[in-house]
């Protein structure tokens, strides 16, 4: 025995503390990176400026994320978990398209600068990153797909091509995000357009 019980307890506590510090650093990197990406975009931001803003060594950043792509794809995955849990809850509890669309638009509005810049830069992302982001969108779109499918089966919505209908909705949202500066002088483009997005989309489903 190299350690008596109190030594062991001490060791466990030190290890836990290390884990906590590691977790906190990881969270700080993610939060800071998201803020910087939201202002300056992903393409022109380098990992050194993120590390500096965090007050950590450049090398420390790579202990947590192997490169800039991993960093942004982790941000997207975290965002996905947040919105998917909310959309799942709505699907289970209310089965209400209005709540689903409201919740998704609010999610975009609350982090609009981040989604605006990623919508603009998306065509220039490396293919692997593009695929990872598309996969996030597959899961989000699936909530809408299922809700429309259920509505058609229940006779609430007319028979329509669900894939095209969803593409129409997400394409419109993407257009507003990509061309935000052309549409609103300041403030949120999603906020200014959400009522028309919603009313046109419901009409499309029902008429």
Partner 1 sequence: MEEKICESCGMPMRKKEEFGGGRFDNRYCVHCTDEEGNLKPFKVKLEEMKNFIASRMDLSEEKALQMAKENMSKMPAWKNYF
Interface positions with partner 1 (CB under 8 A): 84, 88, 131, 134-135, 137-138, 141-142, 145, 162-164, 166-167
Long-range contacts of 121-125 (CB under 8 A, 24+ apart): 121/41, 121/42, 121/43, 124/43, 125/42, 125/43
DSSP annotation of 124: G
Q: How far is the CB of 98 from partner 1 (least distance, A)?
A: 21
Q: How far is the CB of 88 from partner 1 (least distance, A)?
A: 8
Q: How far is the CB of 142 from partner 1 (least distance, A)?
A: 5
Q: Closer CB to partner 1, residue 57 or residue 138?
A: 138
Q: Closer CB to partner 1, residue 163 or residue 199?
A: 163
Q: How far is the CB of 148 from partner 1 (least distance, A)?
A: 11
Contact 100, 202 (CB under 8 A): no
Q: How far is the CB of 170 from partner 1 (least distance, A)?
A: 9
Q: Closer CB to partner 1, residue 162 or residue 173?
A: 162
The SS3 call for residue 144 is: helix
Residues 6+ positions from 137 with CB-CB distance below 8 Å: 170
Angle at 40 between CA 39 and CA 41, to 5 degrees: 105
Contact 73, 147 (CB under 8 A): no
Q: Closer CB to partner 1, residue 141 or residue 180?
A: 141
Q: Closer CB to partner 1, residue 11 or residue 81?
A: 81
Contact 156, 73 (CB under 8 A): no
């Amino acid at each position: 025995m190299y350690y008596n019980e109190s030594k062991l307890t001490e060791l466990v506590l030190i290890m836990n503390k290390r884990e906590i510090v590691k977790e906190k650093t990881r969270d700080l990197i993610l939060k800071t990176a998201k803020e910087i990406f939201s202002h300056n975009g992903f393409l022109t931001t380098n990992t050194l400026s993120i590390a500096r803003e965090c007050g950590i060594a450049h090398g420390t950043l790579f202990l947590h994320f192997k490169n800039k792509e991993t960093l942004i794809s982790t941000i997207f995955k975290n965002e996905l978990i947040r919105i998917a849990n909310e959309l799942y809850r709505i699907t289970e509890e209310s089965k209400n398209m209005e709540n689903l669309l409201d919740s998704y638009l609010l999610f975009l509005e609350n982090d609009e600068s981040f989604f605006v810049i990623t919508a603009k830069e998306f065509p220039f992302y490396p293919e692997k990153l593009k695929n990872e982001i598309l996969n996030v969108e597959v899961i989000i779109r699936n909530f809408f797909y299922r809700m429309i499918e259920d509505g058609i089966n229940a006779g609430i919505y007319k028979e329509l091509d669900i894939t095209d209908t969803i593409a129409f909705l997400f394409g419109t949202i993407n257009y507003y995000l990509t061309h935000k500066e052309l549409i609103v002088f300041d403030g949120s483009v999603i906020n200014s357009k959400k009522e028309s997005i919603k009313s046109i989309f419901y009409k499309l489903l029902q008429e």
